[in-house]
Structure 1
């Protein structure tokens, strides 16, 4: 019996839409935020506060969106999401008031839930549950180039035009490139679902029904803690480095972090087939707090900052994979969209609060103690995943 092939065409199409989805809806914002603040007559903090509010709103609606993905198919919802993303970006660019801008930003973050990894993972599960873990690894490898492409692209466009025009161009990419690709994937999935003989066999989760509530609570707690560590550190990267006396290495870190994410995914794709998702999750959870500890203990060493960038990138890169594969291993493919929606909700809510929480900590207890708390939270995520691993091994 030959192994099922991963749906390469679908992965390639989703890889393109993930690069555009993350590039236009996530990575571009930090580059354009300064000019957004000037045009809206806001401080930069208020603009990022608006983003936090939008992320929070996106997190609150994520469980409902996940249920719709299960009911109507991920392809249809991703097609709708591309249209909503384009409309949201246009609305941001043309917003006449601050309130209108915030509402448009909320629409953008809701659309992000429909077109980024959570929905894309669900689509791969719906197409071929048996190959989904491998497909998710391939997809995250491609998606890892989003920052590498869109940070310089956004910067180059912004040097020639106002941020509103950049957003209009990005709206066009979502409408002209992503929407047709998602519609094509939706059509193919709908055709296969109409043919009962071609319905893919579902994956059965490793956890028994009695163990699933505890397993889900532990997994979501671990993912939320990792999201908190990731969001807090990445948003405050430059002030953290400056406060520790290694601000001059910020440019070096920027060049090392992205490739390290891709390297971790490539290494896992080539050599990690014998590692279970829960073990991969443990490695990711251990790397991130270790990276922060290295930064604190070696500051103001540039070499230490470079080691931090590599370790943190490796951990964050693996985290993107296990956020899709671990729920599939533990709970199976039935209801995967709803499951991803609930996981995404917890992650987004924590990610929305993380930048403020770390900023408050740095202002009141200092950078070193704040980062020590970050290390502790990251270590707690690893310990929580150890409990998940024990639960998975026993199955009950």
Structure 2
């Protein structure tokens, strides 16, 4: 095993640890603690989740700034500072004496998450070695896919003997004691976009995108639209999975059906890892988008047949698992490594803005149009996302066809 291969594995493993902790403490733990938070501040659970949605929106708005800093200063340094920021935000939220400051604390937590979660981690892998970044991103998403599996029961276990404030203090200590030093080490390995542009020795380590410069703006809009639509659908259906299945007549089996989503998500990432470069990121994006309407059709056609609903959860989970991979690999494949952090930051902002409103939109549509009509609508949105990726693919193919003819003429 070469030294570079060993380092690459250590980098992915270190990031895997920080991503599990990041998503577990800053995102997934909220579900287990929300009821106690609502009780302490005299809020209904709906208001607590509304505050969480607003905090997600705030994080989305900060993503472009995070991307700019990542390109300018390096993802490792930004993530190290983000670890300190996450710890401070968790402590501030835990010490909040009233609901207003609590809501501001939640916003601070999600702002910090923008600097330590996937968008920053993907950029770090690109800055360390753009040539192997696509494969490393797939490995990372496979590891980080266990964040909910680990932190839902861990948070519940801690909360059985600690208040939610004390749980947040524990999480803050983990960010300072474990994530911060790991991010500092990773910072020493990464190169900023400025370094990549000016250091001739590192030019060979850059990756060129498949989309020509004059078509990048339209391709970026199509890419972001497709990713945002998939994320919107995933967030809406996941939040309402259990009540949606119950409304379709699946009753007590809803919980069993919902539990298949996580393993299916991890399985799709494992499939992507094993397939290597045989399926390009744009192909994975198209598959991910098409799995949405396919899974919904399975659910609608199966009615209250449990086996059909189980198949729905598996197919839907497969699509969601691939969607998390393409968030990092598709921008690199289409547009290259130069300016990757800022580009992913913009895409993340739009994606988070879309997902922050997804639970409310789906609940509103279900209430006024019914579950079946809502699912049909979301299936159509999945087809729109697939069409966006297909158009990008046709653009790339036209460019590839033209280039040989030009060279022959010369």
TM-score greater than 0.5 by the shorter chain: yes
Match for 2:306 among 291, 302, 306? 302
Q: Could you tell me how far 1:90 is from its partner in structure 2? A: 1.2
Q: CA deviation at 1:154?
A: 1.4
Q: Separation in 2 of the partners of 1:305 and 1:87?
A: 43
Q: Distance in 2 between matches of 1:264 and 1:120?
A: 20
Matched residue SS, 1:16: helix
CA distance in 2, matches of 1:299, 1:82: 46
Query: Which residue in 2 is equivalent to 1:220?
Result: 224
- 1:391 and 2:398 aligned: no
Structure 1 residue runs without a partner (length 5+): none
Give, in angstroms, the shift of residue 105 of structure 1.
0.7
Q: Equivalent residue for 1:332?
A: 336
Per-residue deviation, residues 234-262 of structure 1 (Å, max 9, x unmatched) = 11111111111113123323431111111
Contact kept, 8 Å, 2:128 with 2:191, in 1: the verdict is no
Give a deviation string over 1:349-374, Cα, whole Å, max 9, x none.
Answer: 00001111011111111111111111
Alignment check: 8 A CA contact 2:242 2:255 kept: no
For structure 2, the 5+ residue unaligned runs are: 401-410
- Give the equivalent residue in structure 1 for 2:408: none
Contact 1:212–1:331 (CA under 8 A) maintained in structure 2: yes
**DSSP-derived class of the 1:115 partner:** coil
- 2:165 maps to 164
Q: How does 1:228-377 map to 2 (within 5 A)?
A: 228-377=232-381
Q: Distance in 2 between matches of 1:355 and 1:267?
A: 29
The answer to whether the 8 A contact 1:129-1:333 is kept is: yes
Aligned residue-pair number:
394
CA deviations 1:158-199 (Å, max 9, x no partner) are 2222222222211121111111100111123369x6986456
Query: SS where residue 260 of structure 2 aligns?
Result: helix
- Residue 62 of structure 1 is matched in structure 2 by 63
Measure the CA separation in 1 of the matches of 2:58 and 2:160.
31
Which has more radius of gyration?
A: 2
Structure 2 partner of 1:44: 45
Structure 2 vs 1, CA of residues 395 and 86 (structure 1 numbering), >3 Å: closer, same or farther? farther
Deviations 1:235-293 (A, max 9, x none): 11111111111131233234311111111111111124211110011111111232222
1:249–1:305 contact (8 Å) kept in structure 2: no
Alpha-carbon distance in 1 for matches of 2:184, 2:257:
38
Distance 1:16 1:395 in 2: 40
Matched residue, 1:127: 128
**1:101-112 alignment runs, 5 A limit:** 101-112=102-113
How do 1:194-213 residues align onto structure 2 when only pairs under 5 Å count? Answer: 197=201, 201-213=205-217
